[in-house]
A and B are shown apart, each in its own frame.
Chain A
Amino acid sequence: MDVDPKILVVDDEENLLRSVEKTLLREGFEVETANGNISAYELVRDALRDGESFDLIILDLNMPDFEGKDSKYAGLELLERLKSAIPDIPVIVNSAWDEVETAKLCIDKGAADYFVKGRTDEMLDKIRVVLNISA
């Protein structure tokens, strides 16, 4: 690829966001971050408007929802909105919960993949698969 793939990482945990950003930058990706549903959505909207786009979005499920309330699956709402606004951009979802039902829900709503938080190597593998890059 001539241009480095651009990834948007969304997570409300600042430490984790910064850590993932650093990991991805070192892997050669271009990275932008958002610490919530709303800021993420705005970033995507602005990018679209400017004619640029993300190649991949990594989304944390466990964030406050669009109304600011804590919800176990708030990220799902963002996933739905993203799949409806930019259906061709793959979204990988992560969650603290290692649950089968959550995984099913995410795939049903159009996620390209799903992994449990904290598993960095797994995350990198999935990113490469979804973006069709060899390690």
Chain B
Amino acid sequence: MDLANIDDNVTLEQALRRANLLAAAAEVSQNITLILDIDELLPKTVDIICDAYDFYYAGVFLIDDAGEFAVLRAGRGEPGRIMIENNHKLAVGGNSMIGACTARNEARISLDVDTERVWYPNPVLPDTRSEMALPLAIGNRVIGAVTVQSVEAAAFSDEDISSLQAMANQLAIAIENARNRRELEETHAQLLRAKTFETIATATGDAIHWIGNKAEPIGGSLARLREDVQLLACAAAEALDLVADEVKTYPLAQLFLKEAADIQQHRPDIVEKVEQLTSLPVDQLEQRLSLNSIMEDLQIIANAASLIMKVKEELIGPAREQAPRPVMIDDVVNDAVTGSGIPSAIVRLEKQNDLPLVLADPVQLNRVFINLFKNAQEAMADQSQPRLSVSLRLDEDQKMVLADVQDNGTGIPEETLDKIWITFHTTKGVKEHAGLGLPACQLILEHIGGHITVASRPGQGATFTMAVPLAEDKTDGAKIEPSRGKVLLVDDADDWRHFAAIALKAAGYKTATADQNYRSGQFNQYDLILVDDILANRDSIEVLQEIKQAGAIAKTTVFSSNPRVERTKEDKLLGIYDLLPKPYTQASLLNEVRKAITSIRYIRT
């Protein structure tokens, strides 16, 4: 053979091999940079490496916090699993390839393990003929090592080292990034917990103080009432002394005389007071012992009790656990308009097309909007042409949906603008409001990673702007199981009904839609009837009553963006199959529908 030809062959072979290595390196890099979660990254990496390079085994070691041991954190296949279970680790600087490589930040290569000095046979990897250990380093800092093993002897050349090392360097960066990200998430979670705790502690402190203030007058009123009631009884008995003996025999008279006698025994001081009073003229008596005073003290107690109950009702709101999920924010807004009782004629809703789903608890988000709408209504009470406009749009960074709620009411004075967010602050007079609404709204939004702000000028209305984070919906791309059945959707012709109809049809259900004015004796032909709890022009319970008359109530599921206890109970008593939170993703909708149809069929058979 010609020498020149041999050289050409070798060069070609080398070139091909190098090209393969580069391609493999590129594949690994590409794949590992997609994985951001450290728990996912390491196991997937060893698979990716073995697949790209056709190695028998790959493992990733990470150096522990003390810097003493390289601990196996991922290993391909069953051998990897066994070693990890046994907490396999190797001393940095010890007598192993990994030990040497991590101590010196140098690759170690063994082309024939039978002859290698520092190679110890690993019982779970009996087929290894050659092995390479590559340091995972960021600059001079070694964070671990990768081991790759082949069933062929002399599987790696020195050239391979540089290409594989380049791949290992990429891996080191990816691991470091993932760890940093994890640390950041934990710090963030810690901060959030601390802040939440602090907020609750502060709110509790405020609440205790506020409730204390409201409860305090009760004591004073009660003391007066006790005395006044006894005084009245004794005074009545005194008055009876002046009437004819015959009258004193009447049961009512007897009652007062008896009560007075009891009081005299226990409270001689009361008797004394009565004697003083009886010498007074009528107008002074009225001041001292009229029923008005008693009624007033009772009212003081009633006010205090009512405020305390209201606070309890409001406090159990934001403190209640939120369950954020993907939600159609415009659907929640529509339901809030209906729920708040604000006349729909004065409301204008503008929304960007194809608004993505947001991540929020629809019940709490509903509360927030209703709160804002009610505040707006009060601010517009004297406005002859009240106008409320709601606009929904994606923000510039595409990470949040912004909702502006704007009214043309009296506006908020500048000195109050900051204070509206403070718990228990209210401008409306203590009797009616505990001032918890807006602080609760803020808490609700911040809890999901959003926020709420306000802009206002006196006389020019107010605009509240909410930012709500987008939902990452990972499930909608999933395959839809083909299904059978006839479903009727009873709802206003809104975006949710549109979404639901499309999803149901895509899954193979024969789907009919009806708005709330639908009149039909044909309810019974359906396998499942879905009814929206909140309908614009009619109470959904009337629809349910019609369905019941048609004999189809047991096949009916009610969806609500804001399930309420009283409505749930009424609907259940009518005999519906179930009342559920309204699903906003294809997957959750189809899941509920499938479960319902299956159960309903089962019940009937």
Contacts and interface: CB of A to CB of B under 8 A. Distances in A.
A108 B563 CA distance: 17
B565 A98 contact: yes
Nearest to A106: B569
B316 A98 contact: yes
A104 B316 contact: no
B333 to A, nearest CB: 22
B579 A104 contact: yes
A103 B563 CA distance: 11
Contacts of A113: 569, 573
B568 A104 contact: yes
A128 B573 CA distance: 16
Contacts of A104: 568-569, 572, 578-579
A67 B436 CA distance: 40
A107 B567 CA distance: 12
A103 B565 contact: yes
A114 B572 CA distance: 11
A135 interface: no
Nearest to B313: A98
In this complex, the interface size class of chain B, counting residues with CB under 8 Å from chain A, is: 10 to 19
B309 A100 contact: no
B569 A114 contact: yes
Contacts of A114: 565, 569
A112 to B, nearest CB: 8
Contacts of A102: 565
Most chain B CB atoms below 10 A, which of A103, A107, A108: A103
A17 interface: no
A106 B566 CA distance: 12
A118 interface: yes
Interface in A3-31: none
B512 to A, nearest CB: 28
Contact of A100 (B313, B316, B573, B579): B579
B316 to A, nearest CB: 7
A116 interface: yes
B309 A103 contact: no
B564 interface: yes
A29 B569 CA distance: 25
Contacts of B565: 98-100, 102-103, 114, 116
A107 B572 contact: yes
B316 A103 contact: no
In this complex, the interface size class of chain A, counting residues with CB under 8 Å from chain B, is: 10 to 19
Nearest to B312: A118
Contact of A103 (B313, B572, B578): B572
Contacts of A106: 569
Interface in B541-567: 563-565
A98 B579 CA distance: 16
B563 to A, nearest CB: 5
A102 B566 CA distance: 11
B525 to A, nearest CB: 27
A106 B568 CA distance: 11
A98 B564 CA distance: 9
B564 to A, nearest CB: 7
Interface string B270-311: 000000000000000000000000000000000000000100
B307 to A, nearest CB: 13
B309 A107 contact: no
A98 to B, nearest CB: 5
Contacts of B578: 104
Nearest to B317: A98
Contacts of B563: 100
A102 B573 CA distance: 14
B572 A108 contact: yes
Contacts of B579: 100, 104
B197 to A, nearest CB: 23
A107 B316 contact: no
Interface in B566-594: 568-569, 572-573, 578-579
A114 B573 CA distance: 10
A99 B316 CA distance: 11
Contact of A118 (B309, B564, B569, B572): B309
Nearest to B578: A104
Interface string B130-174: 000000000000000000000000000000000000000000000
A128 to B, nearest CB: 16
Most chain B CB atoms below 10 A, which of A99, A104, A106: A104
Contacts of A100: 563-565, 568, 579
Interface string A97-135: 011101110111000011010100000000000000000
Contacts of B309: 118
B447 to A, nearest CB: 19
A75 B86 CA distance: 51
Contacts of A98: 313, 316, 565
Nearest to A102: B565
Given A104-B569, A106-B569, A118-B309, 11 more contacts: A99-B565, A100-B579, A103-B565, A103-B569, A104-B572, A104-B578, A107-B569, A107-B573, A113-B573, A114-B569, A116-B565
Interface of A: 98-100, 102-104, 106-108, 113-114, 116, 118
7 contacts: A99-B565, A100-B564, A100-B565, A100-B568, A100-B579, A103-B568, A113-B569
List the 9 closest A-B pairs by CB distance, nearest first: A107-B572, A103-B569, A100-B563, A103-B565, A100-B568, A114-B569, A103-B568, A98-B565, A100-B565
